């Protein structure tokens, strides 16, 4: 006999209580399984949404820093870079955005976040695009309508979620430092040389801003939520199962066992047995009334047999 058949034999082969318990367990287990699978999809979608929101917020914050530097700081600092003194990178939006991102990383909560401005031909060699970043920049250059790329990136330290936006030369003022060395401030040439960060053109996509946010922690939190939900469901379904079983026992099984005991007694001494359950309005009452009628018929039949014996 197969295990399923052994667990679910034909009706009537086990006590009702056991049959009910097994059936309830099977239904509730299946419900939990389906619910967990659906919740896993839902929680996963929510986790991805959360990661996207975090990345978008981080990116917007950095863009704001860039805008502030470009509008408010650069006009003050840039003239100081014209001479041969020390080059002040504070005038460069990219520098300030990456510096602010660095300060954010000092906080424990942002330790695994990162912001980078990578370019194919940067002034500061720290910003040189690696092969992954070069691929992203090339995608932006091939398809100018592409404004955003995102996905997962595997690093030696784990998987991270990235969001990338193109860096496009939209202002003529950018070309002061990035067109030809003879236009660039002397202090910049002394700091970074005259071989990198030049040759940029107006409206050209020269790099990408990449935000990476940790996804391991978010997905771990999702898994913990899913596990907690599943355990709560198991616990509540177990309570529901026990209560259902108790109610069924009280409403059906116990009265049936009582009727059965009385029916057995009535088969020997029908006069001493009283089916009080016949007053009930449910199926148990119906059964009790049937047994009551059977008991009366049995009493009459036994009385008739006695009378016939007395006449004989």
Partner 1 sequence: MRRWLPLLAVLVTTACGGQQSSDVSLCGSAGRLRVGLVGAAEGRAQSAAGVLPDQDQFRLRELLMVASRCEVQLEPVLSPEQARLRLRSGDWDLAFLPPGLTAVALEQSGRYGLVRQLGRRSNAKSQLLVRADSSLKTRADLRGRRLGLLPRGSLTGFYLPLFNLHGLRFSEVHYALSYADLRTMLDEGKVDVIAWDGSLPADKARYRVVHEDSHLIPLGALALSQSLLQSDHQPFLRQLDQNVTQLPPSLGYASGVIPEPYALKELRGIVAAVEGWTLPQAGQPYTVYGAKGDAETAAGGGR
Q: Which residues bind partner 1 (CB under 8 A)?
A: 84-87, 102, 105-106, 111-112, 114, 124-126, 128, 130-131, 155-157, 186, 190-193, 195-196
| Pairing outcome for strands 158-168 and 205-214 | antiparallel
Nearest to 88 by CA among 103, 69, 64: 69
Nearer to partner 1, 133 or 292 (CB): 133
Least distance to partner 1, CB of residue 220, Å: 18
User: Shortest gap between Cβ of 148 and partner 1 (angstroms)?
Assistant: 23
| Residue (150 or 196) nearer to partner 1, CB | 196
User: Which residues, other chains included, contact 285 with Cβ-Cβ below 8 Å and sequence gap of 6+?
Assistant: 277, 278, 279
Residue closer to partner 1 by CB (options 130, 172) is 130
Quick one: 85 or 144, whose CB is closer to partner 1? Answer: 85
> Is the Cα torsion angle 172, 176, 178, 179 positive or negative in sign?
positive
CB 119 to partner 1: min, Å: 12
Alpha-carbon span 152 to 159, nearest angstrom: 7
155: helix, strand or coil: strand
Q: Which is nearer to partner 1, 1 or 103 (CB)?
A: 103
User: Half-sphere exposure (CA, 13 Å, Cβ side) for 213?
Assistant: 22
* 84 φ/ψ angles, rounded to the nearest 5 degrees: -100, 10
Minimum distance between the CB of residue 124 and partner 1, rounded to whole angstroms? 7
CB of 153 to partner 1, least distance (A): 12
């Amino acid at each position: 006999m197969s295990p399923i058949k052994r667990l679910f034999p034909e009706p009537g082969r086990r006590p009702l209580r056991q049959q009910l318990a097994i059936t309830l367990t099977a239904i509730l287990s299946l419900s939990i399984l389906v619910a967990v699978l659906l919740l896993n999809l839902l929680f996963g979608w929510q986790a991805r949404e959360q990661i996207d929101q975090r990345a978008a917020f981080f990116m917007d914050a950095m863009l704001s820093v860039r805008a502030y530097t470009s509008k408010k700081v650069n006009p003050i600092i840039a003239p100081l870079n014209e001479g041969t003194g020390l080059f002040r990178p504070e005038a460069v939006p990219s520098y300030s955005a990456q510096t602010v991102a660095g300060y954010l990383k000092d906080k424990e909560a942002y330790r695994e976040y990162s912001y980078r401005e990578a370019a194919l031909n940067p002034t500061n060699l720290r910003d040189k695009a690696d092969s992954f970043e070069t691929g992203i920049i090339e995608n932006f250059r091939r398809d100018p309508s592409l404004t955003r790329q995102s996905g997962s990136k595997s690093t030696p330290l784990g998987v991270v979620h990235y969001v990338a936006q193109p860096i496009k030369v939209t202002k003529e003022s950018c070309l002061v430092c990035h067109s030809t060395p003879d236009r660039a401030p002397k202090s910049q040439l002394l700091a970074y040389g005259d071989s990198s960060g030049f040759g940029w053109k107006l409206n050209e996509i020269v790099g990408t801003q990449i935000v990476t946010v940790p996804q391991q922690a978010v997905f771990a939190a999702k898994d913990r939520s899913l596990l907690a939900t599943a355990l709560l469901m198991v616990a509540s379904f177990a309570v529901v199962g026990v209560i259902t079983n108790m109610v069924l026992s009280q409403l059906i099984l116990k009265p049936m066992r009582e009727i059965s005991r009385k029916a057995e007694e009535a088969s020997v001494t029908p006069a001493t047995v009283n089916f009080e359950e016949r007053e009930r309005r449910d199926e148990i009452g119906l059964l009790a009334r049937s047994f009551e009628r059977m008991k009366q018929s049995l009493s009459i039949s036994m009385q008739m047999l006695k009378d016939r014996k007395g006449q004989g």
